[in-house]
Structure 1
Amino acid sequence: MQIAALRHSRRRRLSGALVASAVAMLAVSGCGVANTTQSDSASPDTLRIVLPQEPPTLEPCDASLTATGVVVRSNITQPLIERDPDTGELLPLLASSWEQVEPNLWRFTTASGVQFSNGAPFDAEDAAFSIERTFNGAIGCDVNGYVFDDSTIEVSTPDRSTVELRTESPDPILPLRISFIEMVPRTTDPDSKVREPIGTGPYMVDFWDPGQRIALKANPNYASEAPQFSRAIYQWRAEGSVRAAMVANDEADLATSLGPEDGAGDLGISYVNNETTALRMHATEAPLDDPRVREAIDFAINREGIVDALFQGLGLPAAQLVGKGIVGYNDALTPTPYDLDRAKALIDEARADGVPVDRTVRLIGRTGQFPKINETIEAIQFSLSEIGLDVKIEMMDTSGQMQYQVRPFVPGAGPFLLMIMHGNQAGDTQFTLDQYMLSEGYQSSWGKAEYDEQIRAAAALTGAERQTALASVLADEPAEIRQYAYLAHMEAVLAKSDRVDYRPNSATGDEMRLSEMTRAAPDHD
């Protein structure tokens, strides 16, 4: 029997230094996995995909990062359980079954006959190792911050097909949490992130040309039906119009993260994704520590105008940080109205009381985070200047922006607003609350003890009571905290060539399963 007590600390998670080191790793020459001179990208057996940015890492425990998960998750590696993005149902994958045998104890039975791409068999020891490695603060797994809190979990393997997880307190959604941990072989380095992940998925890494492309090839040891496409080549281009043109010109089969203005034409497919955009207001320094200033910022955002003019109607103004279909979504909430006069009055009132509203506030955005982000940031800056705030725009790349998005935040950063885009891949509001609204949440800048208790009480419930309590927590956020000015529930556009059949869903932006892509039937018209 193997037993390990795991304690996870958000304060030791992905720091700016770790992000920077992951990005720097990409620039190391000679790190290709295999011969990078292969030129079969035009083969009918090869999927050609163009992304907005290069993945910062292929480390499986960072698969909750959109740029990493879209390549790794369910392609190279797999979890014990997967979630159907359409229904929210949890489905067996590398675990054949699971049950809550005691209030604090969950038991998972691993599937038989599964191998890793290196030929090693998968069993409960690998599952236990993967869970322990994910909790290891030394490697700063992003999935830790996304899925787990600071509680202790004991992992044991009574036999080679059984993994047991004992929690400090009852956790009704532990299987949902476990669905975010990708399984790796127990021979994986437990203390360092890997460049060449080994998994049980339908594909394996063929080569990675830093700054150029990543190639996957079919895993010969895959336990299920082989995918129709035996290879996949990923490239990246920052401009959406360039990505769309690559599909139109038969240089790519799929292009992600497009805007309606990028020219995908008849090849474009719009779909509702699970992303919500918002401004996070760091309320730890003046003038943002005054609730009137934060409320004024909320009133100053023209949500409908941004969605209509910049997003060309692809989206809905948001009143909360989760969208429809997520457990806890509150359909009674309405977006904050656009009211510059009321916003100005709040700023004037704060100024009269001595709040330094003339202090420069940084407005930080991530380049390429979503279509028209630059224009969105500029529109918000203009509105905030209209109500009397001095706002300075700073656009950053992923590694720079992440230092302001996740704990530990950049020290001495001064007052700043951060554009975020949150996709609740899990389908339950608790994941959003734990990360974004608890006082010490991985992506939360502050909070209140009373509101923390309200979150924890809701998280302990199940069924209809859980839905009601989580919805109430979301409704209370503006009054209790007002850390966010919600912007929009986003929609996305995917460009797809006629030779591929694929239906995008709400998870496509975070997890694009290549095995679901098939060759389109020839057109005999």
Structure 2
Amino acid sequence: MPPGIMNNTPSRRRAASAFLALGAMLSAGACSVANSGPEPSSGAAASTVRIVLPEEPPTLEPCDASLTATGRVTRSNLTEALTERDPASGELKPALATEWKQDSPTEWTFSVRQGVKFHDGTAFDAKAAAFSIDRAVGSKIDCNVDGYVFGGVELTATAVDAATLKVKTAKEDPILPLRLSFVEIVPTTTSTTGKVREPVGTGPYKIAKWDTGRSLRLERFAGYWGKAPDFAAAEYVWRGEGSIRAAMVKSDEADIAVGLAPEDGAGDAAVQFPNNETSYLRIDATKAPLNDLRVRQAINYALDKDGLVASVFAGLGKPAGQIVPAGVTGHSTAIQPWPYDAAQAKKLIAEAKADGVPTDTPITIIGRNGIYPKAAEAMEVVQNSLTEAGLSVKIQMLDVNAWLEYLLAPFPKDAGPTLLQAQHGNQAGDAAFTMGQIYGTKGAQSSYGTKELDELITTAEQSSGQERAAAFAKALEYQNKDVVRDAVLAHMTGILALSKKVSYKPDAATNDEMRLADIHPAG
């Protein structure tokens, strides 16, 4: 999250212990343990859960854990936050903070959990919490969580004593505790001048070995403050081909494979789940011909979303008209997917060309390998549709690290006009985690914004209750009608493969946060 990464998709969900168990715990003698018995060919040790990913994490830096490829390993496994949101109920729950209260419109007090240790043996306290907030928010190391979650929110964090943290905001922020669920807590010895690749956290696992390009192994942290997870270790490997990932589960080389497509052949091991991701194309509206509203409208009319979902996505999705899905505060029921109208797309392009817009300027689709199944095929469909509409379009598929250069500001200056293949999830449940950073003029992932849209977003962010929902919906409707910065494609459905040796129930947060404590031996 980014995504996807796999993106740019933020999430935080660490449910309380009552929500963690997927079933009653069985004794070791009553159930099989993944990798128990004969040593598998992969060399994984007994009591190790084996997970195969579409890509290697670019980093495990905690302040970039709102990126999918980083967050699915880091969040709730290596590091934890002060608060956490249960994806099923939407309720905000205690994590490293046990309780919190709002003292005034701009001031909050948090009581932090006592007796918690970091992986290096140092004690967690309010000073570490204040340090982590300062490091992640408004820092000079370009933390993704800063722009993605806080979007210019100014705050100060102060440790009153070891057990008490005060956080003040420059303006009223009704959802500050929810925002802080994205700030992973690290010790005060963590660098503030650069990002760390292998973090120290308070989570139930710590890094044992990262063999770059090959595998990543986590081991259970003996000093963990909470309930110990079932598996002593977790081993991650990565394979770009979905069919290979699925085959690894079927051949007992892995226990879980993520990011699969129907044709990858997972068979009986396949598990479908709503992953809360929305696929879209970000339009660079600052460069011709994309700076013409008619061209941006034409892009939306030219795309057959129903056909894309039915064919390339094999029905695993639903055509979408807005990046904020139903169930998230601010979703607008008035916005429907743009209708497929190839004739109208051609007409708009022709009108723009007649007015001197350089519609023959090459536009580059910046795609990302593995962002979702059949990512390259989806962009080929888009390319064909836009070419037929009268635009000149080429595709450049990139691996995640190179793609990130285009996702996050500052963007490459010599790229020319671009369409960025992206994906966004909002497991936090509030449009504030979408609007500012994606559509705001200064948003970390925004290629274009307007003063009017900024004002609508600001009004929504400072509202609460039903007024908040209505204000965000108004901002989304304005974006869809008067800005048209995106071509939204579909709300997606995920597939993973699950070995019969393990029990795991994926949910809306799984794509961005695969919590190892939720994975159990199958009884």
TM-score (norm 1): 0.90
1:254 to 246, 256, 264: 256
* C-alpha separation in 2, matches of 1:172 and 1:222: 32
Residue aligning to 1:34: none
Deviation at residue 118 of structure 1 after TM alignment: 2.2
Q: After TM superposition, list the pairs within 5 Å mapping 1:414-425 onto structure 2.
A: 414-425=416-427
Q: After TM superposition, list the pairs within 5 Å mapping 1:310-325 onto structure 2.
A: 310-325=312-327
Whichever residue aligns with residue 403 of structure 2, its letter is: Q
Deviation at residue 233 of structure 1 after TM alignment: 0.3
* C-alpha separation in 1, matches of 2:198 and 2:455: 42
> Which of 1 and 2 has higher RCO (CA within 8 Å, sep 6+)?
2
Q: Structure 1: which 5+ residue stretches go unaligned?
A: 1-12, 14-37
Whichever residue aligns with residue 244 of structure 1, its letter is: A
Residue aligning to 2:173: 171
Residue aligning to 2:398: 396
CA gap 1:112/1:41 in 2 versus in 1, 3 angstroms = farther
* C-alpha separation in 1, matches of 2:408 and 2:380: 24
Whichever residue aligns with residue 301 of structure 1, its letter is: L
* C-alpha separation in 2, matches of 1:199 and 1:439: 34
* C-alpha separation in 1, matches of 2:153 and 2:85: 24
Q: After TM superposition, list the pairs within 5 Å mapping 1:496-511 onto structure 2.
A: 496-511=498-513
Asked if the contact 1:451–1:480 (Cα under 8 Å) also holds between the matched residues in 2, the reply is: no
* C-alpha separation in 2, matches of 1:132 and 1:51: 32
1:489 to 487, 491, 510: 491
Deviation at residue 40 of structure 1 after TM alignment: 8.5
Residues paired across the two proteins, number: 485
Deviation at residue 515 of structure 1 after TM alignment: 0.4
Whichever residue aligns with residue 491 of structure 2, its letter is: H
Asked if the contact 1:77–1:182 (Cα under 8 Å) also holds between the matched residues in 2, the reply is: yes
* C-alpha separation in 2, matches of 1:123 and 1:200: 11
Deviation at residue 136 of structure 1 after TM alignment: 5.6
Deviation at residue 355 of structure 1 after TM alignment: 1.1
Residue-by-residue CA offset, 1:146-193 (whole Å, 9 max, x unaligned): 111224212111111111111111000111110000111112222222
Q: After TM superposition, list the pairs within 5 Å mapping 1:449-468 onto structure 2.
A: 449-468=451-470
Residue aligning to 2:64: 62
* C-alpha separation in 2, matches of 1:151 and 1:324: 25
SS at match of 1:179: helix
* C-alpha separation in 1, matches of 2:322 and 2:91: 23
SS at match of 1:365: strand
Residue-by-residue CA offset, 1:266-285 (whole Å, 9 max, x unaligned): 10001101110111111111
* C-alpha separation in 2, matches of 1:297 and 1:154: 43
Residue aligning to 2:383: 381
* C-alpha separation in 2, matches of 1:413 and 1:222: 47
State which drifts further: 57-66 or 488-497: 57-66
Asked if the contact 1:255–1:495 (Cα under 8 Å) also holds between the matched residues in 2, the reply is: yes
Asked if the contact 2:250–2:266 (Cα under 8 Å) also holds between the matched residues in 1, the reply is: yes
SS at match of 2:458: helix
Asked if the contact 2:59–2:198 (Cα under 8 Å) also holds between the matched residues in 1, the reply is: no
Residue-by-residue CA offset, 1:183-204 (whole Å, 9 max, x unaligned): 1111222222223311111111
SS at match of 1:328: coil
Whichever residue aligns with residue 142 of structure 1, its letter is: N
Residue-by-residue CA offset, 1:347-385 (whole Å, 9 max, x unaligned): 111111111111111111111111011111000100111
Q: After TM superposition, list the pairs within 5 Å mapping 1:191-202 onto structure 2.
A: 191-202=193-204
Asked if the contact 1:41–1:48 (Cα under 8 Å) also holds between the matched residues in 2, the reply is: no
Residue aligning to 1:87: 89
* C-alpha separation in 2, matches of 1:237 and 1:67: 13
* C-alpha separation in 1, matches of 2:130 and 2:224: 21
Q: After TM superposition, list the pairs within 5 Å mapping 1:13-162 onto structure 2.
A: 41-135=43-137, 137-162=139-164
Whichever residue aligns with residue 87 of structure 1, its letter is: S
1:301 paired to 2:303? yes
Q: Structure 2: which 5+ residue stretches go unaligned?
A: 3-39
* C-alpha separation in 1, matches of 2:522 and 2:358: 61
Whichever residue aligns with residue 134 of structure 1, its letter is: A
Asked if the contact 1:136–1:191 (Cα under 8 Å) also holds between the matched residues in 2, the reply is: no
Whichever residue aligns with residue 196 of structure 1, its letter is: E
Deviation at residue 119 of structure 1 after TM alignment: 2.1
Asked if the contact 2:138–2:154 (Cα under 8 Å) also holds between the matched residues in 1, the reply is: no
SS at match of 2:159: strand
1:348 paired to 2:341? no
Residue-by-residue CA offset, 1:110-156 (whole Å, 9 max, x unaligned): 01121112222211011111111113633221111211122421211
SS at match of 2:466: helix
* C-alpha separation in 1, matches of 2:222 and 2:330: 42
Residue-by-residue CA offset, 1:279-301 (whole Å, 9 max, x unaligned): 11111111111111110010001
Whichever residue aligns with residue 175 of structure 1, its letter is: P
2:338 to 336, 339, 343: 336
Asked if the contact 2:51–2:235 (Cα under 8 Å) also holds between the matched residues in 1, the reply is: yes
1:189 paired to 2:224? no
Asked if the contact 1:61–1:181 (Cα under 8 Å) also holds between the matched residues in 2, the reply is: yes
* C-alpha separation in 1, matches of 2:272 and 2:332: 25
Asked if the contact 1:85–1:507 (Cα under 8 Å) also holds between the matched residues in 2, the reply is: yes
Asked if the contact 2:146–2:152 (Cα under 8 Å) also holds between the matched residues in 1, the reply is: no
CA gap 1:41/1:174 in 2 versus in 1, 3 angstroms = farther
SS at match of 2:246: helix
Deviation at residue 494 of structure 1 after TM alignment: 0.7
* C-alpha separation in 1, matches of 2:374 and 2:268: 21
Residue aligning to 1:431: 433
Q: After TM superposition, list the pairs within 5 Å mapping 1:224-235 onto structure 2.
A: 224-235=226-237
Residue aligning to 1:10: none
* C-alpha separation in 2, matches of 1:325 and 1:494: 23
State which drifts further: 473-482 or 175-184: 473-482
* C-alpha separation in 2, matches of 1:122 and 1:39: 40
Q: After TM superposition, list the pairs within 5 Å mapping 1:1-16 onto structure 2.
A: none
Asked if the contact 2:257–2:496 (Cα under 8 Å) also holds between the matched residues in 1, the reply is: yes
SS at match of 1:493: strand
State which drifts further: 373-382 or 196-205: 196-205
* C-alpha separation in 2, matches of 1:159 and 1:458: 34
